[in-house]
Amino acid sequence: MNIPKTIKLGGVRYAVEITDKLNLGSANYSAEIDYLTLTIRVCPTAPQKQEVDFLHELLHAIADHLGYKDHDEKKIDELAHALYMVIEDNPALFSPPEKAENLKPSKGARP
Ligand SMILES: [Zn+2]
C-alpha cells in the first residue's frame, strides 16, 4: 500500500502529510484529520502503522462526508484494521487489469 500525497474524497482533496507535528500532539496520537484545512497528518512511525493510521483517518473522512459527526473511535479503528487486512491480503485488488488475472474466475468456475 502506498500512502498518497493527496486523496480525493466526496469532491474535495485532502492533503496527506507525514509529520510528527499534530495539532492533537504526538504524545497520545499518531495521526489526525483536520476537516477545516482538509489535511490528514500521519506520524512517521513504522510503515505498516502509518498505513493503518492513514486508513483510520480516511475512514473518518468518509464518515464525515456521509454526515456522521460523532465517530465511534473503536469502530473506526476496527474498520481501519479490517480494511488494511483485506488490502494487504489481496494485493491485486487495485492493480491494473493485466496484473489482476488472479481476480478473474478460472475457466469452468461457477459464479
Ligand atoms: Zn480516530
Domain ranges for the chain, please list them: 6-91
Distance 32 CA to ligand 1 centre (A): 7
| Alpha-helix residue ranges (DSSP H) falling in 33-94 | 47-65, 73-89
* pLDDT tens readout for residues 36-87: 999 999 999 999 999 999 999 999 999 999 999 999 999 999 999 999 999 9
Does the CA dihedral 25-23-2-81 come out positive or negative? positive
For residue 51, which of 1, 109, 104 has the smallest C-alpha distance? 1
Beta-carbon neighbour count of residue 84 at 10 Å? 18
Distance 103 CA to ligand 1 centre (A): 32
Task: Evaluate whether 15 touches 4 at the Cβ level (below 8 Å).
Answer: no
Contacts of 29 (CB under 8 A, 6+ apart): 22, 43
pLDDT band for position 102 (50/70/90)?
A: low
Q: Look up the pTM and report it.
A: 0.85
Given the candidates 3.30.460, 3.40.50, 3.30.2010, 2.40.128, the CATH classification of the domain at 6-91 is: 3.30.2010
